[in-house]
Structures are given as structure tokens and as C-alpha cells.
Amino acid sequence: MRLCTTPQGDVTPVTWAFAPDMLTFEEACCLSGYDRGTMLRVIEVDGVDLDDAGRIGKRSLWEWLEVSVELAHWDD
């Protein structure tokens, strides 16, 4: 399944719902909106769970994004 079929990505809640539980690096970049460099930094700080094949857990990525939003708006 191709998650991002347009240049804008068009990631929706439906995209998240039908994404596999374990994501390739490219799928994780697409779903999160992160570029490759940012996703590598997230992985380096153990921000997401990886399986033995190096795939990224969808739930783990979602939780990372939630925390990132909370931290970005900490003082709001």
C-alpha cells in the first residue's frame, strides 16, 4: 500500500488507520510529515520503537508525535 500518493502527502486519520502496524522508514516519514533527517534524529534518540527488521511501530510514532505537539505548546 502506498501511503502518500500525492506530493502534499494528504495524510488523514484514514491513512493512519489503514497503515500497517510496523512501518518502513519511508512510510514513517510520510505519516509523520518529517523529512528523512528529522526521522533519523527521532530514531537516534530512541523516540520510536523499532523491530528487528528496523521497521518503526505505528503506535510508537503516533505517541512521539503527540508528545512533540504537547511540548511545542507547553507554554500556551
pTM above 0.85, yes or no: no
Per-residue pLDDT tens for 21-61?
A: 999 999 999 999 899 999 999 999 988 999 999 999 999 99
Backbone angles phi, psi at 51, to 5 degrees: -90, 180
| pLDDT at 4 (0 to 100) | 66
Sorted by sequence, the CB contacts under 8 Å of residue 64 that are 6+ apart come out as 32, 42, 47, 48
Per-residue pLDDT tens for 6-24?
A: 555 578 888 889 999 999 9
